[in-house]
Amino acid sequence: MRVGLTGGIGAGKSEVSRRLRDLGAVIIDADAIAREVVAPGTPGLAQVVAAFGPGVLTPGGALDRPRLGEIVFTDPAQLARLNAIIHPLVSERMLQIERSVPPDAVVVHDVPLLAENNLASRYDVVVVVDAPPEVALDRLARLRGMPEEQARARMAAQASREQRLAVADLVVDNSGSVTDLDTQVKRLWTELQHRRANPAAR
């Protein structure tokens, strides 16, 4: 069963993903694959440099992510340009990984931009990790040390909270405590197993 897991920046999607992995899900992490496809020496990195110039490279020849972020997260046209390079490469790699797992697995695709790229139809179930914008903003500043202006720009570059919730089959409310999240993820895992065993319930 293919599950699409998404959530806005700062909502805690990675925490949910880790817990699902511990419970037995196969996790395919789009962010990790996005880093893989632009590693030094890859065709993906060459395409990014061709599009944005050598200024997006570190002195060692790796992608300078903070610098690239400054360019794309304040300019929708530049973000679309980057996505047009990265997304096809990521999708291809995700499918390769998916083909290698057991047929009875619950495969969770951790996809930050699921709503933005209209990908909901690719999955049997879409799970949205949700938190109010003020909670997400606080986490980005407090836990990641991200300047408020940069955090707001990144949040604004993503789908709205309402757009994400509109594509959700199941929602994990991550506005509370870690204990609350643990309880919800266990309940989610039970529901996913039920849906895997009963395709009509999807």
Does any domain span residue 190?
A: yes
Percent of the chain exceeding pLDDT 90 equals 81
Buried b (16+ CB within 10 A) or exposed e, 62-99: ebeeeebbebbbeeeeebeebeebbbebbbebbeeeee
Residue 85 and residue 47 in contact, taking contact as beta carbons nearer than 8 Å: yes
Decide if pLDDT at 182 tops 70: yes
Does any domain span residue 202?
A: no
Biggest distance spanned by C-alpha atoms of the chain: 54
Distance CA 189, CA 98 (A): 19
Does any domain span residue 86?
A: no
Distance CA 85, CA 116 (A): 16
> Could you tell me the residue range of the domain that residue 140 belongs to?
2-25+106-197
Does any domain span residue 150?
A: yes
DSSP state of 124: S
Return the CATH number at 137: 3.40.50.300
The one-letter amino acid at 187:
R
Q: Over the chain, what is the mean pLDDT?
A: 93
Digit-coded pLDDT (tens) for 49-63? 999 999 999 999 999
Does any domain span residue 113?
A: yes
Does any domain span residue 47?
A: no
Does any domain span residue 141?
A: yes
Q: Report the pLDDT averaged over residues 144-157.
A: 89
The one-letter amino acid at 189:
W
Does any domain span residue 21?
A: yes
Residue 98 and residue 110 in contact, taking contact as beta carbons nearer than 8 Å: no
pLDDT at 94: 85
Distance CA 178, CA 197 (A): 29
Distance CA 174, CA 100 (A): 31
Number of domains, the chain: 1
Decide if pLDDT at 202 tops 80: no
Rg of the chain in Å (alpha carbons): 17
Report pTM.
0.78
